[in-house]
Structure 1
Amino acid sequence: MSEAAKLRKATFHLYTFTISKLISTFGSSVYTFGISLYVLSITGSAASFAINLICSILPRSLVAPFAGYAADSYSKKKLVILSQVASVLSVTGLLVYSLAFGLSLTAIYITTALVSASSMFTGVTFTSSIANLIDPDRIQKAMGFNQSAMSIATIGGPVIGGMLFGFVSMNIFLVVQIAAYIVALLLESTMNFKLFTNGTAKGEDVKQSLVKSLKEGAVYLKSNRVIMVIVTTAIGLNFFFSALMIGLPFIAVQQLKVESAHFGMIEAMIAVGMLLASIYFAMRKEVKFPLLFSKRAILVMSVLLGAIAIPLLLDLPYGMNVGYLLVLMFGFGVSNIFVNTPIGVMMQKDVEEEYRGRVFGILDSMCMAAMPLGYLLFGLLYDSIPAQYIVWGSSLCLVFLTLYMMRPSVMKEAYPELGQPVPNAPKFS
């Protein structure tokens, strides 16, 4: 295939990938919102809601390394299609069960776990395939479009879900998700997952045992200091920002007495910030020093985390509290994309093709595992320690972790040119 033809196909991938992600994520967002309200409405139990959340998170954490192994060992296109088919069949099974017997919590939990596991295979395979689908010069644009699609779905999904919940049955929510998965599947079936390849991936030609392959991936990860720093920092970031996920509703609703409608707006501002930042990255030129760029963004996020406690210290009017949290969450959304997008582009380019699936699988698994641990720890801490001390402590820990993991020696290894006396070169810290 000529270079011009490859670029045309890459352009097709760029928009097909974005539309596919938008439709499937939007359908999942509508379904997740509806099923969450349904579980709460029939049980009135936070524990039942928490179990469904665990059924969503735990399978993803457990299967991520296996998804990475599969992505490196088998046809990525076949893997994406099969995992999407598995998601369609899982939700269809719940729909058939509901029509025959009515919905039950057990059926919902099982379906949530199955969809969570299959979506992890889809996600890891797609993430490890971006550099194969898109030409190197437009990887940042692709990731910006991807984040934009997810942000739009995050904002719009609950809105549509809220409108539907009071007027239609849960079966309609299931049909919406099935339709979204099918459309995404049809779009993904048109993609060429071998468009850009350097020929180093083993793919389906050379098979290794699961254990040997995962060990090989772990050895590669340990041998690459810069990538190891990124993975370790990402795990710490997910863990300490569990303090935000637990602390924001606790501080806003319980302590500041923010009304539920206003709290929904506060949470939505995270997605708004992510959307605008994603559009910015889709339009701007590629970041020259992504690790340095992301380091500064993490430090900003750390400061914003500690700043959540300010309304607890000042006796501000209700409107100012809400306005302050709206601005703060918008900042979180922007800085989140400023961390993830440059690092994502860097990993797409720097991780060798034959290891991408396993590296992203290990990264997803470790980050997903850090979240429940953080939820449990910070949930207990907020019940026994003043909230401001928890967010300040988490903020400081994240600052120290970032400054240590991304210290000057690591920056020199990642960007040797930063150590050269080049005029106007950015300083690192």
Structure 2
Amino acid sequence: MEISLHESNQQIFKDICSNFISSLSSNMFTYGLGLMLLNQTHSALSFGIELAIGPIISLIFMIPIGNLVDKYPHKRILLASMLIRVVFLLFLAVTLNYFVGMLKFIPVIFFVSVNSIAVIFATTAYSASVHELVNENKIHQLSSLTSAANSFANIFAPVLGVGAYSLLGFQFFVWIEIGALLLSAAITVTMKFHYKNTYISKNVIQKKSQLVNFKKSLDYIAQRPLIKALIAIAMLLNFMFSSVNMGLPYIINTQLHLGNSPIGILDTFNAAGGLLAALLMNFVPDNKAKRSRIIAPLFLFGFYFLSLGTIFSLTTDLKSVNILGSITMFIGGLGISVLNITIQIHIQKTTPTVILGRVSSTMNTANTVVFPIGTLFFTFIFQKISNGALVYLICGTIWLLVTSLMASRLNTIIDTDSDLV
């Protein structure tokens, strides 16, 4: 049954509301958790704990997550994920104060591990459910506007997170996150998922082993050269970006002694760049300038790293860091959003629905599995050197060299992939 235009618009509105609420609260919670750990442990790992644990969890559970998402109704998976996160947030709130100093990492690591499993299930289920929420012509709009909602939430999350932590402490974030999850769950209950007969009930997935079913996704990816190329690019890029995710707060707070406020300001402008890109992408046809929307951001990231390194090398002035850093983060956020939305829409539109969950799980795991390695590597580097800016200068130089060497090959791969789908 074809999903009507009216129902698709209603689903998009509900999805935007749910994503805005969950993104705002989740990012505020991440800020509160990171600041609490940084203040109590003074470890560069404080803002990298989720990056270190999440991808490991994703790798361990990659096969069952992909299979289960393609086996069970996505709505149930999304609701179960939210309720599990609520339960373990309560557990974190009760147990956290029994630990002090570096021991705070014990309950936090336990919570982040369980939370990561729930989030990965929900993310994979959502990626695989787009065909059940809107009709084919609305997938582009759903992806663009959902990304815009997430970016819009991320604009406010840093400032609200830093301010709320200073005024109310970490426990406040726990209750805000619980309330937001329950509200998002209530919105999800009202959404209608149009399941396909080939997807639920006595599916072939139930009759074969986990490994055999998951191998289908690997076989499919092996036939798509663009997917293989994007996975390889994402692994190297995410390794380098882990230096920004956990290193930027450490440089600003610990090495430059500029306090917490620049962290929130820079991340706000990063989200603003993502918001602008998502809004613009909503008006760009899916098949227009796809090549440029993949290759151009890759070159942009090299200049992004070099710019960060130059700023932190040349100035420790708070105003200069805020202004120049905000411009750089805005451009970086714009580039990553354009690339992510382009790839997401392409994969969702060209991958068969019955295997989309397993393909999404495989790609997400492959793309993020380097985060723990990068987080631990750059944690060691930042705590061993006094000039963190040098890390970004080296990353920028390496990335521009790699992108220049692979641009021609990637251009050919994009044409080849277009012929296959």
Q: Report the Cα offset of residue 312 of structure 1.
A: 6.3
Q: Distance in 2 between matches of 1:309 and 1:168?
A: 34
Contact 2:252 2:262 in 1 (8 A): no
Structure 1 residues 21 and 328, CA gap change in structure 2 (3 angstroms): same
Q: Report the Cα offset of residue 416 of structure 1.
A: 4.9
Contact 1:289 1:415 in 2 (8 A): no
Counterpart in 2 of 1:427?
A: none
Q: Secondary structure at the match of 2:190?
A: coil
Q: Is 1:413 matched with 2:416?
A: yes
Q: Secondary structure at the match of 2:61?
A: helix
Runs of 5+ consecutive residues of structure 2 not aligned to the other structure: none
TM-score, scaled relative to structure 2: 0.85
Q: Is 1:356 matched with 2:356?
A: yes
> Could you tell which deviates more after superposition, 40-49 or 130-139?
40-49
Q: Distance in 2 between matches of 1:246 and 1:405?
A: 32
Q: Report the Cα offset of residue 281 of structure 1.
A: 1.8
Runs of 5+ consecutive residues of structure 1 not aligned to the other structure: 418-429
Q: Is 1:94 matched with 2:106?
A: no
Deviations for 1:217-250, whole angstroms, at most 9, x for unmatched residues? 1111112222222322222321233344456456
Amino acid at match of 1:191: M
Q: Report the Cα offset of residue 216 of structure 1.
A: 1.8
Counterpart in 2 of 1:31?
A: 29
Structure 1 residues 392 and 276, CA gap change in structure 2 (3 angstroms): closer
Counterpart in 2 of 1:75?
A: 73
Structure 1 residues 131 and 121, CA gap change in structure 2 (3 angstroms): same
Contact 1:30 1:161 in 2 (8 A): yes
Task: Map 1:260-339 onto structure 2 (within 5 A).
Answer: 260-311=260-311, 319-320=319-320, 322-339=322-339
Task: Map 1:362-377 onto structure 2 (within 5 A).
Answer: 362-377=362-377
Contact 1:7 1:135 in 2 (8 A): yes
Contact 2:301 2:396 in 1 (8 A): no
Counterpart in 1 of 2:115?
A: 115
Equivalenced residues, count: 411
Contact 1:61 1:364 in 2 (8 A): no
Q: Report the Cα offset of residue 215 of structure 1.
A: 1.5
Counterpart in 2 of 1:425?
A: none
Q: Report the Cα offset of residue 375 of structure 1.
A: 2.7
Structure 1 residues 405 and 163, CA gap change in structure 2 (3 angstroms): same
Contact 1:295 1:402 in 2 (8 A): no
Q: Report the Cα offset of residue 332 of structure 1.
A: 0.4
Deviations for 1:382-417, whole angstroms, at most 9, x for unmatched residues? 646944651333323441464165132x13213459
Contact 1:242 1:374 in 2 (8 A): yes
Contact 1:238 1:371 in 2 (8 A): yes
Q: Distance in 2 between matches of 1:398 and 1:47?
A: 28
Q: 1:393 aligns with which of 393, 397, 401?
A: 397
Amino acid at match of 1:58: I
Q: Is 1:17 matched with 2:15?
A: yes
Contact 1:145 1:282 in 2 (8 A): yes
Q: Secondary structure at the match of 2:203?
A: coil
Deviations for 1:329-378, whole angstroms, at most 9, x for unmatched residues? 11101111111111111100011112211111111111221122223334
Structure 1 residues 149 and 64, CA gap change in structure 2 (3 angstroms): farther
Counterpart in 1 of 2:183?
A: 183
Q: Distance in 2 between matches of 1:246 and 1:398?
A: 23
Amino acid at match of 1:28: S
Identity level (%): 21
Q: Is 1:161 matched with 2:167?
A: no
Report which of the two structures shows the higher radius of gyration computed on alpha carbons: 1
TM-score, scaled relative to structure 1: 0.83
Counterpart in 2 of 1:85?
A: 83
Structure 1 residues 356 and 401, CA gap change in structure 2 (3 angstroms): farther
Deviations for 1:245-267, whole angstroms, at most 9, x for unmatched residues? 45645666677775643343223
Structure 1 residues 233 and 65, CA gap change in structure 2 (3 angstroms): farther
Structure 1 residues 210 and 165, CA gap change in structure 2 (3 angstroms): same
Contact 2:293 2:339 in 1 (8 A): yes
Q: Report the Cα offset of residue 178 of structure 1.
A: 1.3
Structure 1 residues 18 and 396, CA gap change in structure 2 (3 angstroms): same
Q: Distance in 1 between matches of 2:88 and 2:203?
A: 30
Q: Secondary structure at the match of 2:370?
A: helix
